[in-house]
Structure 1
Amino acid sequence: MKTSRRRFLSLAIGVSAGLRAANAQGYPVRPVRIFVGFSAGGAADIAARLVAQWLSERLGRPFVVENRPGAGGNIATEAVVDAPADGYTLLLVSLQNAVNATLYQKLKYDFVRDIAPVASISHENYCMEVHPSFPAKTVGEFIAYAKANPGQLNMASAGNGTGPHMAGELFKLMAGLDMVHVPYRGSPPALTDLLAGQVQLMFGPMSSSITYVKAGKLRGLAVTTATRSEVLPDVPAMGEFLPSYEASGWFGVGAPRNTPPDIVDRLNREVNAGLAEPTLKARFAELGATMFVTSPAGFARHLADETEKWAKVVRAANIRAD
C-alpha cells in the first residue's frame, strides 16, 4: 500500500508539473495588461510600450499598456496586487516602488511581499537640465548661484518620490542647497513648464527630454550616471563636480504574488530576448537608457538594494508623500 501510495503521489506530482509547463508554454491565450503608474509620454510609459510591443510580436497576443497615474504610482501597483495571479496583469516596476516603501507610511500592500519580480528592463539615466535663459552654464556655477539665492529656485519633478525627484534631492543634500521642490503628475507636464521657463531646474529622464537638450531648448549641465553618456558626450557626469554622486532610475516587470513560477520564468526569458535584440536595444540606447538584464532572483536583490539606498535619502531630506 505504501509503495502504491508513493507511486501515486509521484505520478500526481509529475502530472502537475507537466500541466504547469504546458500552461506556461501555451501562455498567453488572451491579451495581457501592463499597468503603468504614470502618465503617457513619460519615461515609464515609453519603456512599457517598447517592451509591450516586443512581447506582443514575440508571443502572438496583445500586451496592452494601461496608464493609471496618481498617488506616486500606488494606484497602479495596488491594482496589480489585487489582480488574479495568472500572468495576465503585470506592473511596470520602477524606482518609485522602492522609494514608496519608506515614503508612504500606510500603504495597503507590502511591495516586496505582494509583487513578484519578473524581469528587469533598463536603467533610466537623468540629465540635470535648466532653461537656456538660466545664468549658470556649469554645475559649479549653478551651485554658486543657488547658494547665493537660497529658497529662490524651483526644482520640477515627475512627482514626490519619483526618480527625477530623488536624483534632485540627492544633489541638494550633497551640494548643501536650499531649493523648492515642485512636483507634477509625470515628467511631460514638468518638462512643459521647464521649457516655458516657469521652473528653473529638472533632473529630466533622458528618454523624454534628450531631444530638447540636443535641440538647444534645454541646457544639460550634467548626467547623473557615474560616467558620461554616449548619447550626450559633451555633457559632464555629475561625479566630476560631486564625487561619488550617482543616481539612475530603472524599470522592470512585476506580477501579483503567487503568479505561477513557470509563467514568471517564461516572461523573464522573453523580455531578456528582447533586450538582446539589436533593434530594441538600439531604441533604448537612443533614449539614453542602458540594458538591465537579470533573472527574477537577481531583480529581487536589486529591489532590496535600491529600497535601502533611497530610504536613507528620504529620511535625510525629510521627504513626505504629500
Structure 2
Amino acid sequence: MKYTPSPSLVSSLCLVAGSLLWASPGHAQTASYPDKPVKLVVGFAAGGPTDVVARAFADYASRTLGQPFIIDNKPGANTIIAAQAVASAPADGYTLLFGATNHTMIPALYSKVKFDAVHSFAPICTVATSPTVLVVGPGMPVKTLSEFMDRARKSPGSVSAGTAGVGSSGHFATEMFARSAGLKLNHVPYKGAAPVVTDLMGGQLDSSFATLGSVLQQIRTGKVNALAVASARRSPLLPQVPTFVEAGGGSYSADAWYGLLAPAGTPAPVAKALERVATEFARSEAAAEKLRGLGLDADTTCGSAFSAQVEREVATYTKLARDLDLKAE
C-alpha cells in the first residue's frame, strides 16, 4: 500500500526543515553580524575629510553594533589601492570601503584596474554630501555668477580656474559647468587643494570650483567670495549664497558624496544591518554637528538608489573624460 503522509505531518516536517535552514551556519553568521571586528578601508591619508567622516561613522557603528570598526588607511593611486583591497576581499561584511565621489571617476581615468567600480561593489549608503561652490579671489572683480559668466564669455580662456589636479573632482566639476554654460575657462591644475586656496587669496588665480569644506573658513572671513553653490538647495552653512539655478547657472549640480560600499555579493541581511546603522548615524545630532564642522551635510542615499547614482556618475564622468581625452595612467 502506498503511504500518504497526513497534511499535519507534512506541515510539521516543513517547519522542521525551515528551522534547520534558519539555523544553518551561513544564516547564523549573517543573523549575528557582526560577531568580530570590521575593517573600514579608506583611500586617503589620515586627517582628510573622507578619513574624518569615516572615523566618525566607525565610532558610531562600533557603539551601535557592539564590535570595533577599525579604520585602515590605504592612500595612493587616486584611491585605487583601497578599492582593490575591498573588491578582492570576502563578501562577508568584514572588509568595507569608505569612499567618496572620486570612486566613480576611476573608470573614466584608468583602464588597467582589476575591479569594476560598479559591479565589484554593493553600495550601502551615503552618509554625507559636500556641495561644490564656485569661489573667486580678490583678483576677480565680480560679485555674482552672471558677472562671472559674462566676463568669461567676453574673453574666452582668460578666466583661470584652479583645481587639485588633472582628473580631480574639481577638474570634472569645472569642465561640466563650462560645457553646460558654453564657457571656455583656463584650467590650472595644482598638486592638491591647499595651494589652490593660497593662490586664490593672493590674487594669482581667478576662480575655483571647490568642495565647500575646503574653502568654508576663507568664505566666512571674506578672503574669497562665494558666487554659487552647486546643489539642489542652499547650504545651511552658507544660507546667503544662491544655488546655480537661482543665480542663472542652469541646472548645474555637483555634490560630492561620502559613503559606505561593500564587496559585491555581500549577504542582504549584512547589507541591511549596515544600511540601518549608516542611516541612524546620518540622522544623529552628534554626526550632524561633526559634519557641519567639515562643511558637509548629513545625507543618506541607500541601496538601489545609491547603486543607480554610482552607475549614473560613472557614465557621466566616463563620457566627459573621453570628450576631453583625459587619462591619468
TM-score tier after normalising by the smaller chain length:
0.7 to 0.9
Unaligned regions of 5+ residues in structure 1, if any?
none
Distance change >3 Å, CA 300–CA 234, structure 1 → 2: same
Cα-to-partner distance string for 1:205-234 (whole Å, 9 max, x where unaligned):
112321221111222121111333222122
1:134-145 superposed matches below 5 A: 134-145=140-151
Cα-to-partner distance string for 1:80-101 (whole Å, 9 max, x where unaligned):
2223333232212322122222
Distance change >3 Å, CA 23–CA 159, structure 1 → 2: farther
Alignment of 1:234 with 2:243, yes or no, is no
**Alignment-derived partner of residue 260 in structure 2:** 253
Question: In structure 1, what is the Cα distance between the partners aligned to 2:130 and 2:291?
Answer: 9
- Picking from 68, 72, 80, the partner of 1:74 is 80
- Picking from 203, 209, 213, the partner of 2:215 is 209
Q: CA deviation at 1:161?
A: 3.6
1:296-307 superposed matches below 5 A: 296-307=303-314
Unaligned regions of 5+ residues in structure 2, if any?
1-9
**Alignment-derived partner of residue 180 in structure 1:** 187
**Alignment-derived partner of residue 15 in structure 1:** 23
Cα-to-partner distance string for 1:105-155 (whole Å, 9 max, x where unaligned):
222211222112122212221111222343333323333444455445543
Q: CA deviation at 1:193?
A: 4.6
**Alignment-derived partner of residue 4 in structure 2:** none
Question: In structure 2, what is the Cα distance between the partners aligned to 1:197 and 1:63?
Answer: 44
CA contact (8 A) 2:161 2:185 kept: no
**Alignment-derived partner of residue 133 in structure 2:** 127
Give the 3-state SS of the residue equivalent to 2:119 in structure 1: helix
- Picking from 98, 109, 112, the partner of 2:104 is 98
Distance change >3 Å, CA 277–CA 52, structure 1 → 2: same
**Which TM-score applies when normalising by structure 1?**
0.84
Question: In structure 1, what is the Cα distance between the partners aligned to 2:167 and 2:97?
Answer: 18
- Picking from 38, 43, 63, the partner of 2:69 is 63
**Alignment-derived partner of residue 169 in structure 1:** 175
Name the % identity.
32
CA contact (8 A) 1:80 1:255 kept: yes
Give the 3-state SS of the residue equivalent to 2:265 in structure 1: coil
Question: In structure 2, what is the Cα distance between the partners aligned to 1:156 and 1:281?
Answer: 30
Q: CA deviation at 1:18?
A: 4.4
**Which TM-score applies when normalising by structure 2?**
0.83
- Name the amino acid aligned to 1:15: A
Give the 3-state SS of the residue equivalent to 1:265 in structure 2: helix
Question: In structure 2, what is the Cα distance between the partners aligned to 1:184 and 1:15?
Answer: 54
1:212-227 superposed matches below 5 A: 212-227=218-233
Give the 3-state SS of the residue equivalent to 2:238 in structure 1: coil
